[in-house]
Structures are given as structure tokens and as C-alpha cells.
Structure 1
């Protein structure tokens, strides 16, 4: 999960963020300055990772960007499906909306799609997309 020479920040779709930092005696102090001295910060010795609340994600990402040459950020993004009655009334085989063809041409994909408003269909099914990007002072030179 980690490259021992650079930070790795992970924000899962649920729960606390995790951070791997290359060893430095000042890591705890730097993180506490970043997220606030009263904020929860725990270190998992076995995994060699720090855990902190999701609300501090942006501050920690900005700290990596400021103090490290390169770092990796992984973010889980939750997306709920949305469709439209135009899809339900469509003709033909091609569907380009988020239902993936569940509702296309009146198929109505079971009970998972609910009409809200006059034309919008939504589902409570959650899709998690993972986005990875680089941060740091030298990311533009890669």
C-alpha cells in the first residue's frame, strides 16, 4: 500500500482517513499542528499509519503538498445512480446514463429505482469510484 520514501494519504468512502509518512521524529508534532492539538490522531504501529477524522483531509493533503517532494493521495468517491424518464421512454438499444440500461426503454430495473419529482429516477445503490493523484512540490516535473 505504500512507498517507504513518500507520503500516502487515503480517504475511504466511510471512516477515518489513513496516512503513511516516511519516518521523521517530528511527524506527530507536524500533524498535530496541521489538524489541531485537540483533534484525534492515532498511530498504528503494525501498519505504520496515522489515522484521523475525515474533516481534516484537506489540511493534511495541503501539508503533504507543502512539506514533501511527492506524495500520493487516494480518494474513494461515492456516487449514487440517477436516471431520467427520458431513458425509460427511449427507443433503441443504446443507453448512456447512469442506470446502465436498467430502465432503458421501460425495462424498469426492479425496485431499486424510485421516481422523485416529475422526471428524475434515483437509486440508493452506492458505487464507489477510486481516484488517485499526486501532490507535492515536484509533481509538475513528472
Structure 2
């Protein structure tokens, strides 16, 4: 049994040809938009805007400004009723110094005991109060399928 890596998983969505894929790279890089083939893709994607999409041969996709993110998703909904979005996200961890300094075994916070009684766990925690601290994880790419409400 083989297990796919996160990169292989993203490549699987990127290479499918049934639905548009909007890839929001780290700013200031333009969006990459991969569309199912249609002769009018460039005109359709431009949708009367001043800027013109440019073809990125290396990625096999259209490059458009980051500012077109929402617009491109709505446009995809109008023709395809759905699209995949690939973008960066960060996981958020929530804990508190009350947990870190605890002496008993009972842990009721979202760390599920990972930081319980540790003193000060490693990482860059931002302490808001004695009962709330937050730390942002590493940036990773995720993919999600967006659909027109009510679409199957």
C-alpha cells in the first residue's frame, strides 16, 4: 500500500482536467489558473478586465493578478459550477499558561494534554491572558473544492 505525500495530492488536483483550479501562490506571485480546454479561455478569463491573462508554459496555466482571486472563483462558478482552490494556510494552536503550569493530570484545553504541565512549551506563543495563548504553525498548501450553493 502506498501513501501519497501532500505534494502528490496537490499534483493530483492540479492535473485533473474536469474543473478549474485556482492556485494562489505566495504574494506577490500572480495566481495560476488551470482551466479545462475551451477555445475562448483567454477572453473568458479576462472578462472585460484591463489586464490580459498570460500563458505560463512551464505550469500549463494562465497567470492573472492576485486581485482577481474572488472574481476568478465566481467566474468559474458561472461556467463550471465548481472549482478547486489551492492556497497557503497555517494551523492555529490554542493553549494557555494555566495549562502549562498545571500540576494535575486533567487537561481541558485544546492541546489535549500535549503541553500540560510543561512549564513553557517550545514555539512562539502569543499570550493574550492566563487562560488564552495562540501559536501559528508552519505554512502549508491545502486544496479545497468550492461549489455553487446547491450544486451536486
Q: Larger relative contact order (C-alpha < 8 A, sep ≥ 6)?
A: 1
- 8 Å CA contact 1:112, 1:125 repeated in 2: no
Map 1:79-90 → 2, pairs under 5 A: 79-90=91-102
Structure-1 residue corresponding to 2:21: 8
Structure-2-length-normalised TM-score = 0.66
Kindly provide the CA deviation profile for residues 69-108 of structure 1, in whole angstroms up to 9, marking residues without a partner as x: 553333432234332223224432657525972x322431
Structure-2 residue corresponding to 1:62: 74
Structure-2 separation of matches of 1:47 and 1:98: 40
- 8 Å CA contact 1:77, 1:131 repeated in 2: no
User: Per the alignment, in what secondary structure is the counterpart of residue 94 of structure 2?
Assistant: strand
Kindly provide the CA deviation profile for residues 26-76 of structure 1, in whole angstroms up to 9, marking residues without a partner as x: 211222227x323x7332123211122333211111111111255333343
User: Per the alignment, in what secondary structure is the counterpart of residue 110 of structure 1?
Assistant: coil
Please give the root-mean-square deviation of Cα atoms over the aligned residues, in Å.
Answer: 3.3
Structure-2 separation of matches of 1:118 and 1:32: 51
Bigger mean CA deviation after superposition, 59-68 or 5-14 = 5-14
User: Per the alignment, in what secondary structure is the counterpart of residue 73 of structure 1?
Assistant: strand
Match of 2:38 among 24, 38, 41: 24
Structure 2: runs of 5 or more not aligned:
1-13
Structure 1: runs of 5 or more not aligned:
none
Aligned residues: 137
Q: 1:79 to 1:16 in 2, by over 3 A?
A: farther
Structure-1-length-normalised TM-score = 0.69
